[in-house]
Chain A
Amino acid sequence: MKITFVKKILANGEPCAKCADVEARLRTGNYLSRIDETQVADERDPESDGMRTAARLGVERAPFFVVENDGGEVVYTVFFKFLREVLEAPVSNSAEASEILRDNPDLDLI
């Protein structure tokens, strides 16, 4: 199995906040060593590794993970799904809820 982590640099050169948060969580949980390759999707450079991977796989948001194994490639855009299913890490309900809200900001008005 090969795991690729794609993180984003915004058009203004700043790192994407969610990517930084995801990377910090990987580090805190000692999961960074499980990541085989990290690519940067630089919005200023469509030819950057991460942008090309996103275009090839039809992914429209970052961060995301690509898991390659004998069965092909699987893309995970939901971090906690990746944590639970691929890294088999424990994930709390509130952490998952937090990611849902970040990805769907209009839910806060519910």
Chain B
Amino acid sequence: MTAQRISQNDSHGVSSHGVDSHGRADEQAEEQSIAVSLDASPQQVLEDALSSFDADKIAISFSGAEDIVLVDMAVKLGFKPRVFCLDTGRLHAETYQFLERVRKHYDLALEILSPNGDDVAELVAEKGLFSFYEDGHNECCSVRKIAPLRNHLGKLDAWITGQREDQSPTRSDLPQDQIDKAFSSDDHTLMKFNPLARWTSSQVWAYIRQESVPYNPLHDRGFVSIGCEPCTRAIGPGEHERAGRWWWEEATAKECGLHAQNVTPLIPASGG
């Protein structure tokens, strides 16, 4: 099942940029309808993912925000999934309370991942508790999120995220499933499933309301994207949700791709 869906996504990628601007509307329409029909629903992606791996080798990553829909869908599909949450130590009190509510509501053994205490102590001793306001968020996020995440993913064969294309410009064309190159190694291949990739924020919220899914109360106070307390703020109507995170950082060029001038970039922007 999983392999079949991977090839479906590849087809989607090809057809999505195979449209030309010189007429041939019927061909375009056909291509587009194929692309749409090849996208599986979030529930299909979840079901395929959860039934394709041993239960202890696949887990849902839950951030304490609207990705709660993944947990809800998985439970309603009849699974009792592994669910983990990165506790950076800097989350809002409301988020911690929400995690507890989720644990009880779904009767889950929520796995709370903590950063390495020595690494946090070293960072704080050297740069204080708010280094991200001066040096950018990479270092703190690396210690508090990425290192524990990497450690945890090393024990899994697959993970499921709530990432969506519409969350950030760097997520356009996000596949519904992929080999996770960031965390795979020469001797360990990790799969990553993004069931909500094609859903918009409105679709997620329609699901939450329709299915009476519990949600983080911060959303009612204008928080669209929810992360750590010092790095998250409420946003106004019309602002992109990314504007609610690390808003003090300049939108500097983050380009590691090799772009010959006047040539279409070969890969999306990345850090560096």
List the interface of chain A (C-beta within 8 A of B). Answer: 8, 10-11, 16-19, 21, 41, 43-44, 46, 51, 54, 59-62, 92-94, 96-98, 100-110
Asked if residues B149 and A110 are in contact (CB atoms below 8 Å), the reply is yes
B-chain residues with CB within 8 Å of residue A107 when the two chains form the complex? 145-146, 149, 182
How many contacts between A and B, using CB within 8 angstroms?
121
Report chain B residues within 8 Å CB of A21.
272
Taken together as a complex, chains A and B put the C-alpha atoms of A58 and B259 apart, in Å, by 13
A104/B256 in contact, CB under 8 A: no
Asked if B30 is at the interface of the complex by the 8 Å CB criterion, the answer is no
Cα A12 to Cα B117 in complex, Å, equals 41
Report the interface size for chain B: residues with CB under 8 A from the other chain. Answer: 46
From A16, A17, A43, A105, name the one whose CB has the most chain B CB atoms within 10 angstroms.
A105
Q: When the two chains form their complex, are residues A60 and B267 in contact, meaning their CB atoms are under 8 A apart?
A: yes
Do B267 and A102 touch (CB < 8 A)?
Answer: no
| Nearest CB on B from A17, distance (A) | 6
Selecting from B15-23, B50-58, B167-175, the interface stretch reads: B167-175
Task: Please name the residue on chain B nearest to A58 by beta carbon.
Answer: B266
Q: How far is the CA of A2 from the CA of B159 in the complex (A)?
A: 39
Interface residues in chain B, defined as those with a beta carbon under 8 Å from any beta carbon in chain A: 61, 63, 86, 116, 119, 123, 137-139, 141-143, 145-147, 149-151, 161, 163, 167-168, 170-171, 182-183, 225, 227, 242, 245-246, 253-261, 266-267, 269-272
Closest 4 CB pairs of A and B: A18-B272, A102-B271, A97-B146, A98-B142
Report Cα–Cα, A98/B132, bound state, in Å. Answer: 13
With a cutoff of 8 Å between Cβ atoms, the chain A residues found around residue B227 in the complex are 109
Check B163–A102 contact: CB distance below 8 A.
no
Q: Contact: B150 with A16, CB < 8 Å?
A: no
> Is B266 a contact of A60 with CB atoms below 8 Å?
yes
Task: Given A104-B271, A106-B171, verify A61-B258 contact (CB < 8 Å).
Answer: yes
In the bound complex, how far is the Cα of B147 from the Cα of A61, in angstroms? 23
